[in-house]
Structures are given as C-alpha cells and as structure tokens.
Amino acid sequence: MKLLISVFLLVISVQAHIIKPYESIQASGNVIDIVIVNDMLTLSTDKGTIESYKISTKERLMMVQFPMIKDFMGDDIYPKVFSTDYLKISKGTWLLYKELVVHVNFFLLIMDKKLN
C-alpha cells in the first residue's frame, strides 16, 4: 500500500510542471478576500486596497487606496481590508470591513466608487 501511494505521489509531482494558470492578475498586495459578481472580480488586500477587474478583458475597473494607519509603536502601516461584500441594493455598492487602527476595525460603504 505504501509503495502504491509513493508511486502515485511521484507521478503527480512529475506531472506538476504541466499545470499552468488560465489567467493571472497582479494585485498590489497579499489578497485577503475575493468576490466574483457576474464578470467582475474584486480583491481586498493587506496593503489597504480594493481592486476590481473585468474578468473577460483583465481591465481594472476600480482601485480604492486607503491611507496608512499607525500601529502600536507609532509606525505607519497599511490597513488590512478583511472582507468585501457586494450589495445588490444599487449598482456599484460595496460593504467593507477594514482596519481603522491596530485592533480597531469598522465597516465602510463604497457607492459608485466614493467612500460613504
């Protein structure tokens, strides 16, 4: 049984170089949350950005950059955007859960690419 599993893992690892991504998008930071609505991909990053792309053309539709915050030592850091949700109440409305200061988070609403 161990020999069978070893051979199986060896075959998989040899064939791994064949697997390639279909498409890729370079985000501004580490992606924390992904939302896909119709043909729109929205990414939340740990660099304090919300980025929206049109999937079919890879065109950037929106990028919101939040200002830097102070950490507990007084150094400037980027706020993390923990969660992004698309609200169907009107087109272009997003609800965000973002870091305000270290260990203090709040909800934020974006309507038509404007912070509310």
pTM (2 d.p.): 0.67
pLDDT tens profile 48-93: 888 889 988 889 888 888 888 888 888 888 888 888 877 766 666 6
Which helix (H) or strand (E) segment is 4 a member of?
Answer: helix 2-15
Cβ contacts of 106-111, under 8 Å, gap ≥ 24: 110/50, 110/64
pLDDT tens profile 18-28: 777 777 888 88
Q: Domains plus CATH for the chain?
A: 27-115 (2.40.10)
Give the C-alpha separation, 66 to 49, whole Å.
Answer: 6
pLDDT interval class at 100 (50, 70, 90): low
